[in-house]
Structure 1
Amino acid sequence: MTNKILLTGFDAFGGASLNPSWLAVKSLHGRRMLGHQVVAAQLPTVFDASLKELNALLKQHRPALVVCVGQAGGRKAISLERVAINVNDAPIADNAGGQPVDTPVKAGAPTAYFTSLPIKAMLVALQAEGVAAEVSQTAGTFVCNHVFFGLMHTLATRRELKHTRGGFIHVPWLPEQGAPNMPLDEIVRGLRLAVRCALAVEQDSALGAGATN
């Protein structure tokens, strides 16, 4: 394990020309947080190919912390995802034209994985700084959940990554994409706060666990 933080975002999909998840993590590339260096990478919005790229990044960097970030149109807050499920059920085609229906992310793997990030402590940290944030109970069944589940399965099954913690965050649209939305600089500020909290807090405390919404 190294002193790196891996942040990933996605390329644009569904006919859009941009994706705030990639724009936000790209702006944090190269920064140092609590003695760790941020490495940002873009994943394709494609089933299977996204996980192949993510696993290559994990092998290359062996990060201490991984936060995958995706876009969630219709949400008005930064969403800290609690659980990934072992289901692909695409409402639209991915960027390669794939549209799986009711297939497993990983055959024979558990039904679900919980995040290993301290999402309640992260929620408190974000809200204390005035950033709109929430704990989300669903990451959907599109490529975001596919990557989230694949990440957690890899962290659970690869010995060299057993001390790496990871999870997933959804961010709203940008103003130019529609409403509800959040400005890019606010998304970046929220991600920076969330990552710093995840580095500083190994697991949720009683204080953090009581902060629901």
Structure 2
Amino acid sequence: MNILLTGFEPFGDPLHGPAVNPSWEVARALHGEALGGATVHARRLPTRFAGAPQALADALAALRPGLVIALGQASGRSEVSIERVAVNLIDARIPDNDGVRPLDQPVRPGAPAAYFSTLPVKALRDGLRAAGHPAGLSLSAGAFVCNQVFFELQHRLAGRGVPSGFIHLPALPEQAAATQPCVPSMGLAAQVDAVRLAVRIALSGGEAPAGRPDDGAPVS
């Protein structure tokens, strides 16, 4: 079985510091790994509204994966954020890498207002926490290219029985140091370990670890 793990190219918000994106750094670090009898395939998506959906569609068609996890960067978040819902909305706070900034537009006209992740989101959170990784559930993937890709992913795989969803990652320490010292960050090795574990949990069918914690407040 193929596992598709996507990340994004760096984008131009000065708050994100150096030209690096942890989502792609994590995805490519795991490329080629054999996990649970499946092989991880990393694909880098453009941070462009016009290009990301087609790049995702091409990867899905080529790999026909049995599991898909899309990764993105969420500067300002201090934990691995497991997204629960993708909304049919593009409302860009900043321009994408083409300099385009669409406002109040649907991802797909006529499509449903939202899709839920089909990953075992609470098992992912609980398993990551049990292993010592800061992790939480999020009810907002924003309205930038991350949410667009999340929505497109769930739309394309709806009803196909392929677990899929989106995980936001914190900034890397070098990005935080280049912007504001108080910006939360997480090292690359820790992020790679967390996503590797998330893939294993998703492959296992989301069996919750022993001693699962109570539900926490969702990340916004």
Output the TM-score relative to the length of structure 2: 0.89
**1:98 CA displacement:** 1.1
User: 1 CA distance for matches of 2:21 and 2:205?
Assistant: 29
1:204/1:147 CA distance change after superposition, 3 Å: farther
- SS of corresponding position for 1:6: strand
Structure 2 residue corresponding to 1:118, chosen from 100, 117, 120 = 120
**1:208 CA displacement:** 6.5
User: 1 CA distance for matches of 2:106 and 2:213?
Assistant: 31
1:173/1:33 CA distance change after superposition, 3 Å: same
**1:202 CA displacement:** 5.2
Confirm or deny: 8 A CA contact 1:7 1:68 kept in the other structure: yes
Confirm or deny: 8 A CA contact 2:126 2:208 kept in the other structure: no
Q: CA RMSD in A?
A: 1.7
**1:48 CA displacement:** 3.0
Q: Amino acid of the residue matched to residue 170 of structure 1?
A: H
Structure 1 residue corresponding to 2:139, chosen from 105, 120, 137 = 137
Confirm or deny: 8 A CA contact 1:118 1:198 kept in the other structure: yes
How many residues align? The count is: 206
**1:211 CA displacement:** 3.7
Residue in structure 1 matched with residue 172 of structure 2 by the alignment:
174
User: 2 CA distance for matches of 1:175 and 1:26?
Assistant: 18
Structure 2 residue corresponding to 1:165, chosen from 163, 166, 172 = 163
Residue in structure 1 matched with residue 198 of structure 2 by the alignment:
194
1:1-213 to structure 2, matched below 5 A, reads 3-15=1-13, 16-156=18-158, 162-178=160-176, 179-201=183-205, 211-213=215-217
**1:133 CA displacement:** 0.4
Q: Amino acid of the residue matched to residue 39 of structure 1?
A: H
User: 2 CA distance for matches of 1:82 and 1:58?
Assistant: 21
User: 2 CA distance for matches of 1:78 and 1:167?
Assistant: 13
Structure 2, gaps ≥5 residues long: 177-182
User: 2 CA distance for matches of 1:28 and 1:125?
Assistant: 19
Q: Amino acid of the residue matched to residue 80 of structure 1?
A: I
Q: Amino acid of the residue matched to residue 115 of structure 1?
A: S
**1:165 CA displacement:** 1.4
- SS of corresponding position for 1:163: coil
Q: Amino acid of the residue matched to residue 162 of structure 2?
A: T
Output the TM-score relative to the length of structure 1: 0.92
**1:156 CA displacement:** 1.4
User: 1 CA distance for matches of 2:186 and 2:3?
Assistant: 24
User: 1 CA distance for matches of 2:56 and 2:12?
Assistant: 21
Structure 1, gaps ≥5 residues long: none
Confirm or deny: 8 A CA contact 2:130 2:212 kept in the other structure: no
Deviations 1:169-195 (A, max 9, x none): 000000011120000000000000111
1:204/1:154 CA distance change after superposition, 3 Å: farther
Runs of 4+ in 1 over 3 A off after TM superposition: 202-205, 207-213
1:81/1:87 CA distance change after superposition, 3 Å: same
1:89/1:200 CA distance change after superposition, 3 Å: same
